Structure 1
Amino acid sequence: MKQELATIKISQPAHRALKSAGIETVEQLTQYKEGELLALHGFGPKALGILKNILEEDGLSFKKEERE
């Protein structure tokens, strides 16, 4: 079952940032790196932490950052 991001308690600017990027479900977050989300206008570290915890509860994670 896809969990809608609209049901998660993060700030309205963070919700708008995700929606404008076309991200509407928790599962879609796994396609993005943390840095990519933080680069979205209105999306900050607090929202990232909340969503990271939700992903971990479902056994998921953000896309891994490549090491150079």
Structure 2
Amino acid sequence: MTPLDELPRIGAPATRALHGAGHTGLGQLAGVPRTELAALHGVGPKALRLIEEALAEHGLRLG
């Protein structure tokens, strides 16, 4: 289980994109619209799926 203060293993481009947008931990992504994350360069369908799965482990989800 990914801790809420860390990002899941989603690949370097997606991690850089999230850090660039100010998201440094999984907990910060709860409630963020999926479309907002998908618009970030480097965040693709696989990264979104992994983020959603990691959030679901904590009973959370994207907006």
Which residue number in structure 1 is paired with residue 28 of structure 2? 28
Q: Which residue of 1 aligns with 2:46?
A: 46
Give a deviation string over 1:33-67, Cα, whole Å, max 9, x none.
1010000011101000001001011000111xxxx
TM-score by length of 1: 0.82
| Structure 1 segments (4+ residues) deviating >6 Å | none
TM-score, normalised to structure 2, is 0.88
Aligned length: 61
Segments of structure 1 that go 5 or more residues without pairing to the other structure are: 64-68
Q: Does 1:9 align with 2:9?
A: yes
**Structure 2: where are the runs of 5+ without partners?**
none
Q: Cα RMSD over matched residues?
A: 1.3
Report 1 or 2 for greater relative contact order, CA contacts < 8 Å, sequence distance ≥ 6: 2
Q: Sequence identity of aligned pairs in percent?
A: 44
